[in-house]
Amino acid sequence: MAECYGAAAVRHFSDAEILAASERWDGAGHLIGFSAECSIKHGVGALRPDADGVRKHLPELTEVAKRLLNQRRQSGIYTILKNPVFMSGWAVEARYSDSGVVDREQYMVWRQQAYALLHAVNLRVAR
């Protein structure tokens, strides 16, 4: 099966928003992180189709992507990734955490960062 990172990024973002509307912050936070990951993979693939190594998760994916985009420092995605607090605290392992780890404030920070990434890699979600 082909990996469609762009479509997955948009889908995860939209699904996160549905969960957030019901104040299900843990699930929403988890999906918003996957939206960010898929946006990064989509963006790196668009700028560096020859790139290998994007089969990682945050935060390791951020470092791999910055290395791969080193020659494209002016790209919007690189600018977002170099922020030292980018997706701070998000980890794929959180899927095993107890409920109540993610709150509205944390979700909204991650949401803003994921939304910026979507736009940086030319993906759009319905408002």
**Given this model, what pLDDT does residue 51 score?**
80
95: Cβ contacts below 8 Å, ≥ 6 apart: 30
**Residue 118: closest CA among 36, 55, 20, 17:** 36
One digit per residue, pLDDT tens: the chain, 127 residues? 568 999 999 999 999 999 999 999 999 999 999 999 999 999 999 888 888 768 899 999 999 999 888 866 667 899 999 999 999 999 998 878 878 899 999 999 999 999 999 999 999 987 6
Amino acid identity of residue 126, one-letter, is A
Asked if residue 51 lies in contact with residue 66, where contact means CB atoms within 8 angstroms, the answer is no
C-alpha span between 65 and 43 (Å, rounded): 9
Tell me the domains of the chain and their CATH numbers: 5-120 (1.20.120)
Find the helix or strand (DSSP H, E) in which 41 lies.
Answer: helix 25-47
**Given this model, what pLDDT does residue 96 score?**
81
